[in-house]
Structures are given as structure tokens and as C-alpha cells.
Amino acid sequence: MQSQISFVDSHTLTPKPDVTAGQILVSSQALSWDGIYIEKGENEEFTPEDVTVPQHYFAMNTGPAFEWEWKDGKTFRTHRYETGDLWVNPAGVPFSHRISGRNQFVLLTIDPQKVVELLPDQPLLERQVFRRKHQAKDKHLQTLMQALLIEAEMGGPNGRLYADTLSTALVAHFVNHYSVDTPINLLDLHPIERQRLGGVIDYIEAHLMEDLSLSDLALEAGLSKFHFARLFKDAIGLTPHKYLLKRRIKKASQFLKQGEAIAQVAYLFGFSDQSHFTRVFRQVEGITPKTFVENL
């Protein structure tokens, strides 16, 4: 059985039929689930280069642990995926992988419009951007994917309402745990520009503690610094620098909640000193780090 997941070139958004997930053993294709698809399979290697998937894309390792290389900017990083570990890739975000040796997997895709339909009480959801997550140890997501897989494997005996119920729970979890908290206006952008910005958002999240430059981000987007800065400001509502500072503060607040010292957190996130960190923290959160910690 062939995989029903369509990979496209991340630059031209044209189909790449030569890229396939491998041999598929279980599929929900015949069940006509609206906007959501799941399959189980295996392959001997998977080495896509600069591709993307038009849907939100989830991959779970169901076999023994293996090494998974993924392209991070200009270089490759390696993670060891244990059984049950997940990779979450938002719709349109480009990726390159190097997976050698036999591996077993469950793949799930969700149409972006399905996310909007299942959560109608969130009117700005269609403007939301999500973060890619490598080596996610997400028991909730794992359980929901396994439940959908079992339903597909048995031929859908519980009907479409049951599948929709599981899908709604999965989508709600995805939105609550993988979304960027800054409302982003992407509707009027060209699809290629949307996926470029999605890739930059992911790159920023992966390098929050590093000294990023405008050149780094523009290179990741494949644009000139001028074009990138203008596109980013128009879509996000913030300059790249201000957006980076906001994300650093949001992440730093999580470290403070875990009991890390203010001075240490300031150092970890690249602030020149604690005074600088306090000033930016107040601008973003409305209170100082000290007050934030005291209110925990």
C-alpha cells in the first residue's frame, strides 16, 4: 500500500512524487475521515530534502530507538528517537531529514482548515502559527494518535462521530501546546511567504538562547534582509528583534517558574546584565522578574 501523504518542494510548492514515507500497513484512506488522515508503516530509510507537507504533520516512532538527523539552518542535528517519541511539523514548514536503517512509524496529517472548523470559538485561529517540535515526549498526543490508529485498523467500527471526537481532542491539544502566542496575520501572504515565515518562527524557537542576526533569519527565509524585515513586520506586527525579545522573555519566565535565579536566566538568554533583562521583562510582562517570582 502506498502512502497517501503528499510531499511538495518547499521552494516551488510543486509535488515531489519521488518522496514517499515507505510501505504502508494500515491507513484510514477508505474511512473518508474529513480533514484528518492516519497511517502506519515502515521503511529502510527516509531522506527527504527541502520538502514540506501542506497539512499539519505528526510522526511517531513505533519501533526500536533510532537516530534521526534533521536540518537546522545550514547544518544537521541528531536526536535519538525512543519508542513513542514524536516529531510535530506545522503545515508548510520546510524540512530535510536523514533517517538510515529500518524504522517503524505512525503518521498523521490534519488540514489547517479542519483545525479552524473544530475550534470555531477561536476566531483568530486561522491566523495562528505553530511551532515545530523535535523529539516530543507528549503522552497525550501519543495516546490520541494510537486511538485513531486502532480505529482505522479495525475499519472504523465506531463511526465518524467517534473519529471527530478524537480529532477535536487532538486539535485542541495541538493548539494549546504548539501554537505561537503572538497573533499573526498571514492570510494575505503568498503560500511560499507563509511557509517561509513559519520556518523562521521555528528557527527562532530553536535558537532563543543564541545571538541571532537579521542575516541569519533572512537566510533561513531565503530572502534579502530588507525584504525579510518588511515581510516579517507586516505579518507579525513586530520587528524581528522585538519578536525575538518577546519570545525570550516568555521562555525565560518558564525558567523562573522552575526556580532558576534571575541573574542566571538573564545570562542564559543573552541579556547584557540583570538590569537589561529586568527592563525588557517589564516591557513584555508588565512587572519585574522579581515581582513575577514573588507572585508564583
Domain that holds residue 169: 8-178
Same domain for 45 and 144, yes or no, is yes
The phi, psi pair for 8, rounded to 5°, reads -130, 155
Contact in structure between 200 and 232 (CB atoms under 8 Å): yes
Same domain for 36 and 148, yes or no, is yes
Domain edge (last residue) among 178, 195, 230: 178
pLDDT for residue 183: 52
The phi, psi pair for 3, rounded to 5°, reads -65, 145
Contact in structure between 216 and 73 (CB atoms under 8 Å): yes
| Residue 183 placed within a domain | no
Domain edge (last residue) among 159, 178, 197: 178
Residues of the chain with pLDDT under 50: none
pLDDT for residue 221: 80
pLDDT for residue 132: 84
Same domain for 165 and 211, yes or no, is no
The phi, psi pair for 56, rounded to 5°, reads -65, 130
- Number of domains making up the chain: 2
Same domain for 245 and 111, yes or no, is no
Same domain for 48 and 162, yes or no, is yes
The continuous run of DSSP H or E covering 37 comes out as: strand 36-46
Q: What confidence tens digit (pLDDT) does each residue in 222-276 have?
A: 777 888 888 888 878 888 988 999 999 988 998 998 888 999 999 888 888 899 9
Helix (H, G, I), strand (E, B) or coil at 284: helix
The alpha carbon torsion through 12, 14, 16, 20 (nearest 10 deg) reads 110
CATH number at residue 126: 2.60.120.10
Sole residue written with cell 542564559:
268
pLDDT for residue 225: 82
| Residue 199 placed within a domain | no
Same domain for 138 and 99, yes or no, is yes
Contact in structure between 229 and 204 (CB atoms under 8 Å): no
Same domain for 255 and 161, yes or no, is no
pLDDT for residue 126: 59
CATH number at residue 282: 1.10.10.60
pLDDT for residue 125: 57
Gyration radius of the chain over CA positions = 20
Query: Global pTM?
Result: 0.68
